[in-house]
Structure 1
Amino acid sequence: MEEMPKTYDPSENEPKILQKWLDGGYYQRRPGVGDCTVTIPPPNVTGVLHMGHALDDSIQDAIVREARMRGRSTQWILGTDHAGIATQTKVDKKLKEEGKNRLEMGREAFIDACWDWTHEYGGTIKEQIKRMGCSVDFEHERFTMDDDYAEAVRRVFCDWYHDGLIYRGKRIVNWCPSCTTAISDDEAEYKDESGHLWHLRYPLTEPVNGQDYIVVATTRPETMLGDTGVAVSPKDPEKAAFVGKTVMLPIVNREIPIFEDWHVDAGFGSGFVKVTPAHDPNDYAMGAAHDLPQINIFDEHAVVVDGYGEFSGMTRDECREAVVAWFEEHGLLDHIEDHDHSVMHCYRCDTTLEPWLSEQWFVAVDKLKGPAIEAVESGRVRFNAERWKQSYLTWMENLKDWCISRQLWWGHRIPVFYCEDCGWEDALMEDTDVCPKCGGHHVHQDENVLDTWFSSQLWTFATQGWPQKPEALEGHHPTTALVTARDIIALWVARMIMSSEYFLGEEPFHDVVIYPTILAKDGSRMSKSKGNGVDPMVLMDKYGADAMRFNLLSLFTNNQDVKFDADIDKKTHEFKGSPRTEQAKSFVTKIWNASRFLLMNMEGYTPGEPVAETPADAWMFSRLAKTVAAVTEGIEGYTFGDVARSIQSFFWNEVCDWYVEVTKSRLKDEGARLQAQRNLIFVLDTSLRLMHPLMPFVTEAIWDVMPASCLDMGGERAEALMVAAWPEPADFERWVNEPAERAFELTRAVVTDVRSTRARYRISPKEQLDVHVCAHSAEVAEAIEGMAEFIRGFASVKALNVMGEEGFAKPEGSIALAGPDFNAYVVVGDLVDFDAERARIEKTIAKDEKELASANKTLANEGFVAKAAPEVVAKKRERAAELEAEIAALKAQLADFA
């Protein structure tokens, strides 16, 4: 048997193990019973791994590895998204640095530059995912710009176009003047900003009730150049006399009407609302209802167009200042108020978005959303956690038509062709330069490309051969689960369900697993600009992939976002460490050391069935069976935080701290040695299989040098742990033994009481102590008496006396420890100076209470709490809590002398 190194070095072991997996082809789909197909949410082709990816991929890999070990036909599909806006922005920036210009280069040359960019930077995140140990099928990588995938995208567009679900129209969209493209509502990020409410005077064309003007209130005075009406609320009787009248719009001298509309809130501002149909969604709706002209005053860069005198050529910010100055100069600026409001920003470049009237392509969603709602309401698609189901349904019920055109060059070009001679238009699967209607050659294709989410909505089926080989989906679609962030439930999840239901008549996945957002230590969002982000690659270099993965999975919760405890230098933003990941690394080390100890004691071992020869065996096998059931149920039910905690508690606290320790003596007994070895290998092998989906590297490294266990009997030992059989709960049910567990837990409690007494009063482990147990029931007394020999040997107890409550008296010179099932009395006699101990404890309590009073007084000072740094206040509160716990523990010790 190969001897394990004394220490486990992730940097040395992980690359070797990874290569073993890749060389073995274990990541690829194999025949199996049942299916597990998972599609990775495609990261941007030029992206890099961040903490959200790391958690997402750890979850997916746990799902996939467990399914593979359970013998299912498993494939985790890898792919990347072309990221239209992000990639084009980066390439534009690179070309600018080289003194080049996209418009001068032309479309084809620019697209070639985008391909060059993706080839140069596109493999980074894939290699990082590989480094994590993610068992993705790297041999069948997909890209949304691949020819066959592009064909699928084109097929969807053409079918929806011909089915009347795609149309072109002039509508208000969210426009990014920096990226110069439309942005969907769901991609806009709202930010609260401090601003103003300007009250402007608009002269009436003829007086009303002695008034020569009305006052409109607006947060955007620059858009008044495009006003074509003024609206009031039908619920505002004071404004009724003005309805039907007109005002002369200042600066542009445009006569515009005053009308009533339900969109107006009578309590906002002055009650008169300027209406600019080309630059506000609500104004657009009012304009359509009242047949108002739509005047677009900005170009694609949010610069005022020609025709507005001195204001033409100004940016919107410059125009705002100039318009306000003009109104003030002409005595038409009534007053200004401070006003906080929410402003839309581009999710890519953070530029303030402009509501802008432009001609775009839209998907009419009314026929699509019904089946997508039914899929979730019926339970065919399940959200984990359940609360996200309502978020999805609410969004779907209020869904508006989807703007799918983007004014970019990089992406899937809209396959609509136009004839300049006869006006023919159609969506085609193949390019053409000849008009099928008139035979003319003046045919051109639409210049726009499709929204990236349009192509990624096909991810679960276009990556598996649709539409070229629809039979390839059989048995592998719907996919098993989609693991993603809540931010894209509307952007992606809903659209995947709509398209899959339409083209395949089924849901794209059975489960949607929404993982929590990983926040910085202070609860804020991680970001490069704040310098509070953590690079997963740095974590893996410092602690190893297993430690990072295990820590992230242990943080998983269905209810709330989680804070990552990274220590980062505030000045340099340098990562200094992560205590929880350090703890996870300690667990990896514990697994290695415990396994190494056991394997060093396997001389003479031969495989065989486990046999519960001792109470400890019976207890251990029962606990193992329950852990098999809990871990299996947890992974299948996506409760990864519970899985991680149960695995660590079981292996560290029960296997290592108790079972291995208890069994050491049997390894030295020639008659008991072989069965003890078989039992230990059985427990270790099962534990490694359970831990493998969460910590694949260290478990594979240990299993690689392990002898065969009873789990391998009846068949050949697997080539690797990742393709070894999963411990099925049904096969372990026979080991569940409640009485054995109960007896051993009581025994552990007695031993723990004796050990804690030794530690508290610094009594040598060599000192044999008498112990008296007052059992609260006959069942408890019987169980402890049955384990008396074990307790005496394992706790170094000289005499163990077990009695019922009747007639029991506290032994002289004993320390009392109360419990729910029994009270233990450890006789220490002259080994402890009771008076000195009491005095020492009372002195410590007085000192701690004095410090606690001071801390509470400081925390009660509102000035201190308000002015001190948050971390100082937090530290003070932590110290107060520590003191309270310490005082309670010391007072409990005083009770020992009662």
Structure 2
Amino acid sequence: INILNGDGTLNENADAYAGLTVEEARTRMIEDLKTALVLVKVEPYPHSIGHCQRCDTPVEPLISNQWFVRMKELAAPAIEAVHSDEVMFIPKRWKRLYFDWMENIKDWCISRQLWWGHQIPVWYCQACGETIVSREDPARCPVCRSAEIHQDSDVLDTWFSSALFPFSVMGWPEETAELNYFYPTSLLITGFDIIFFWVARMIMMGIHFMGKVPFRQVYFTPLIEDEHGIKMSSSRGNIIDPLEVKDSYGMDALRFTLAQSTSKGRGMRVAMRDIESSRNFLNKIWNMARFVLLNLGDERPGLPAEISELEDRFILSRLSRTILTIRANLDSYNFNLASESLYAFIWHDFCDWYLELAKVRLAFKQDQAVKGILYHVLKEILKLLHPFVPFISEEIWQILGEEPVSLSIAAFPQPATSDSQVEAKMAAFQEVVNAVRMIRAELNVPQNARLKVLVRTFNPELSALLARKSQALNALVGADEWQIKKDISAPPGSARQVLTDAELFVPLTELIDINAECSRLRKELNQVKTELAKAMRNLTNPSFLEQAPREVVKKEHKKQEELLAKQERLQANLTALEE
């Protein structure tokens, strides 16, 4: 027995409660039971009931007549299209979810009792009661010829209309030039949460009405989550408003953050600190470009005919390798790996190393080749950046005044030859610089103190390289003197670093208070040992490993590795100073 009207009130089957809402009827019923002196008690009764996702109102089930589409016949060719990779899913694992839906498909209720949407093409004759389904709007009933007909007020499920999108927006059912050119398209990018709602239905409708699949590849993005791994939703209040981000950080910062966060997993975590980090990266790019342009002035030099300096050959090799890496990752839809590779090249290879070495050569006006390298790499960087951060890259490109007139129509960079031997030599040079910098930082050597560095090595190539680059080494580490020998020994009170092909010493007796520094190192070493013991207790505790979230366990492992490395460095520094 149905007790509900279409507006949610009780009908005549509810007798005295007719016309009331369900909640009103329940309240009235309790009062009537009290009046009749038959009410024993009122208590909450927890149970599961559906709620509207928009307004959270409890949903009362009501059986009604609806329109359905028979789906088995439509699903069969769509299943085969994905089985045969006529439509390729990226990542492939989402095929399983697709097949689970499609192989167990039910008839589709396509009618909705809403005021917004495509009205269902069904009419009713008021004279004879005939139901009319027609491609064209009928003027009369085909049975009794009465003009008293009205269209069903229901509208199509929005996903039904959306399923027609790939061809309906280009003039279908007419055979337009746009339809012939753009259908099928090459790629659809969407979320995995609407594989059945949209992707599957577009494939079914495309094959049925057009005889061809609507697209060749589908790339499924992960869902955007907050920093706690919870899906962003306006109802939860955990969204990041893109318009607010635009005003505070710029759209390029948001774009680059999303590119870095996009993996082939289920979710991508995005936090404001990530966007701030991307903003800082864009500031780095702007300052890098400004430095290059300030040193070029009106010059727009080409690559030098001969390239002999290690850092020049290094940066061109790394550029070539980065182009290959980015191209491969973009082609395979690994956007995070592509953006991380570009970030590492710009920030570390170019800004941290090449620019710093270029400053020395520019300051001493040693050669003009460095300007050509700087300008070439800057142009290639802008081309690589443009798919990720189009606004800042285009702005800098316009300042350069280069062809083509816009980066949006520029060809993607082509790799030259990379040189592993050159990169290995540069890595050895960087290892020496980093070792001296670590000594200065970890032993509290004053920033304005000029160092004397002693290097013991049996590698003639490294000896020659360090001797040739002494001017650059002095600028990078704040040193005045380098001694590079096979048989050199450490003076008392020297810090020591063991490298791959060398041993390095920095005398500190005249630069710091050795006794005070040893005391500080012992104290810090004890603190590290305490923290390390705590981390190791956690990682050997079965309860922690089983119950703690995976991210927490992973973080604890990383913490242990960092503490072990720090303990080793502190102990080595203390031992060296005590000798």
* Closer/same/farther in 2, CA of residues 684 and 854 from structure 1, 3 Å limit: closer
Post-superposition offset of 1:623: 0.9
Partner of 1:440: 146
Partner of 1:759: 441
Asked if 1:663 is matched to 2:358, the reply is: yes
Residues 657-696 of structure 1 aligned to structure 2 (within 5 Å) = 657-667=352-362, 672-673=367-368, 675-696=369-390
Partner of 2:58: 352
Report SS of the residue matched to 1:735: coil
Partner of 1:788: 466
TM-score of the pair, normalised by structure 1: 0.56
Partner of 1:581: 275
Asked if 1:736 is matched to 2:418, the reply is: yes
Post-superposition offset of 1:785: 3.6
**CA distance in 1 between partners of 2:455 and 2:491 (Å):** 11
Partner of 2:518: 838
One-letter code aligned to 2:465:
M
Select which of 645, 648, 668 maps to 2:340. 645
**CA distance in 1 between partners of 2:89 and 2:448 (Å):** 54
**CA distance in 2 between partners of 1:765 and 1:580 (Å):** 34
Post-superposition offset of 1:318: 5.0
Post-superposition offset of 1:320: 6.0
Select which of 695, 720, 723 maps to 2:409. 723
**CA distance in 2 between partners of 1:336 and 1:493 (Å):** 47
Post-superposition offset of 1:747: 1.5
Q: Write 1 or 2 for the structure with the bigger share of strand.
A: 1
Partner of 2:482: 799
Asked if 1:541 is matched to 2:255, the reply is: no
Measured against aligned partners, the alpha-carbon deviations of 1:251-292 in whole angstroms (never above 9, x if no partner) come to: xxxxxxxxxxxxxxxxxxxxxxxxxxxxxxxxxxxxxxxxxx
Select which of 762, 787, 811 maps to 2:490. 811
Asked if 1:826 is matched to 2:521, the reply is: no
Residues 314-353 of structure 1 aligned to structure 2 (within 5 Å) = 314-317=20-23, 341=48, 343-353=49-59
Could you tell which deviates more after superposition, 380-389 or 542-551? 380-389
**CA distance in 2 between partners of 1:783 and 1:333 (Å):** 97
* Closer/same/farther in 2, CA of residues 686 and 347 from structure 1, 3 Å limit: same
Partner of 1:627: 322
Report SS of the residue matched to 1:586: helix
**CA distance in 2 between partners of 1:422 and 1:312 (Å):** 32
Q: Give the number of aligned pairs.
A: 554
Partner of 1:771: 454
The answer to whether the 8 Å contact 1:746/1:784 transfers is yes
Asked if 1:300 is matched to 2:14, the reply is: no
The answer to whether the 8 Å contact 1:417/1:446 transfers is yes
Measured against aligned partners, the alpha-carbon deviations of 1:288-332 in whole angstroms (never above 9, x if no partner) come to: xxxxxxxx3322233332123234334334556778999999999
Report SS of the residue matched to 2:63: strand
* Closer/same/farther in 2, CA of residues 824 and 383 from structure 1, 3 Å limit: farther
* Closer/same/farther in 2, CA of residues 483 and 325 from structure 1, 3 Å limit: farther
Select which of 202, 209, 223 maps to 1:503. 209
Residues 23-38 of structure 1 aligned to structure 2 (within 5 Å) = none
Unmatched 5+ residue regions in structure 2? Answer: 539-550
Measured against aligned partners, the alpha-carbon deviations of 1:819-874 in whole angstroms (never above 9, x if no partner) come to: 5x34532232534554432222112334566789999999xxxxxxxxxxxxxxx9
Asked if 1:596 is matched to 2:290, the reply is: yes
Residues 440-519 of structure 1 aligned to structure 2 (within 5 Å) = 440-519=146-225
The answer to whether the 8 Å contact 2:257/2:270 transfers is no
* Closer/same/farther in 2, CA of residues 818 and 297 from structure 1, 3 Å limit: farther
The answer to whether the 8 Å contact 2:191/2:223 transfers is yes
The answer to whether the 8 Å contact 1:852/1:880 transfers is no
Report SS of the residue matched to 1:754: helix
Report SS of the residue matched to 2:64: strand
**CA distance in 2 between partners of 1:542 and 1:609 (Å):** 38
* Closer/same/farther in 2, CA of residues 763 and 771 from structure 1, 3 Å limit: farther
Partner of 1:893: 570
Report SS of the residue matched to 1:704: helix
One-letter code aligned to 1:643:
A
Measured against aligned partners, the alpha-carbon deviations of 1:391-445 in whole angstroms (never above 9, x if no partner) come to: 2221222221111111233321112233344554443333222234443322322
Q: Percent identity?
A: 34
The answer to whether the 8 Å contact 1:812/1:829 transfers is no
* Closer/same/farther in 2, CA of residues 307 and 299 from structure 1, 3 Å limit: same
Partner of 2:226: 520
One-letter code aligned to 1:502:
H
Partner of 1:429: 135
Unmatched 5+ residue regions in structure 1? Answer: 1-225, 227-295, 566-577, 709-716, 776-780, 859-873
**CA distance in 1 between partners of 2:310 and 2:565 (Å):** 36
Select which of 698, 705, 725 maps to 2:392. 698
* Closer/same/farther in 2, CA of residues 347 and 844 from structure 1, 3 Å limit: same
* Closer/same/farther in 2, CA of residues 745 and 297 from structure 1, 3 Å limit: same
* Closer/same/farther in 2, CA of residues 654 and 516 from structure 1, 3 Å limit: same
**CA distance in 1 between partners of 2:453 and 2:532 (Å):** 38
**CA distance in 1 between partners of 2:358 and 2:533 (Å):** 49
Report SS of the residue matched to 2:66: strand
Could you tell which deviates more after superposition, 745-754 or 465-474? 465-474
Post-superposition offset of 1:503: 1.5
Residues 228-267 of structure 1 aligned to structure 2 (within 5 Å) = none
Measured against aligned partners, the alpha-carbon deviations of 1:453-476 in whole angstroms (never above 9, x if no partner) come to: 111112222223322234423342
Which has the bigger relative contact order, CA under 8 A and spacing at least 6?
Answer: 1
**CA distance in 2 between partners of 1:559 and 1:885 (Å):** 27
Measured against aligned partners, the alpha-carbon deviations of 1:539-580 in whole angstroms (never above 9, x if no partner) come to: 110111111221222222222423433xxxxxxxxxxxx322
Partner of 1:45: none
**CA distance in 2 between partners of 1:324 and 1:783 (Å):** 95
Partner of 1:394: 100
**CA distance in 1 between partners of 2:424 and 2:560 (Å):** 35
**CA distance in 2 between partners of 1:583 and 1:622 (Å):** 27
The answer to whether the 8 Å contact 1:838/1:894 transfers is no
Partner of 1:615: 310
Report SS of the residue matched to 2:296: coil
**CA distance in 2 between partners of 1:300 and 1:357 (Å):** 10
Post-superposition offset of 1:369: 1.0
Report SS of the residue matched to 2:13: coil
Q: Write 1 or 2 for the structure with the bigger share of helix.
A: 2
**CA distance in 1 between partners of 2:490 and 2:169 (Å):** 75
Residues 51-200 of structure 1 aligned to structure 2 (within 5 Å) = none
Partner of 1:561: 267
* Closer/same/farther in 2, CA of residues 324 and 389 from structure 1, 3 Å limit: farther
Post-superposition offset of 1:385: 2.8
Measured against aligned partners, the alpha-carbon deviations of 1:59-114 in whole angstroms (never above 9, x if no partner) come to: xxxxxxxxxxxxxxxxxxxxxxxxxxxxxxxxxxxxxxxxxxxxxxxxxxxxxxxx
Partner of 2:547: none
One-letter code aligned to 1:493:
V
Partner of 1:179: none
Post-superposition offset of 1:756: 1.9
TM-score of the pair, normalised by structure 2: 0.84
**CA distance in 2 between partners of 1:773 and 1:326 (Å):** 99
The answer to whether the 8 Å contact 1:618/1:735 transfers is no
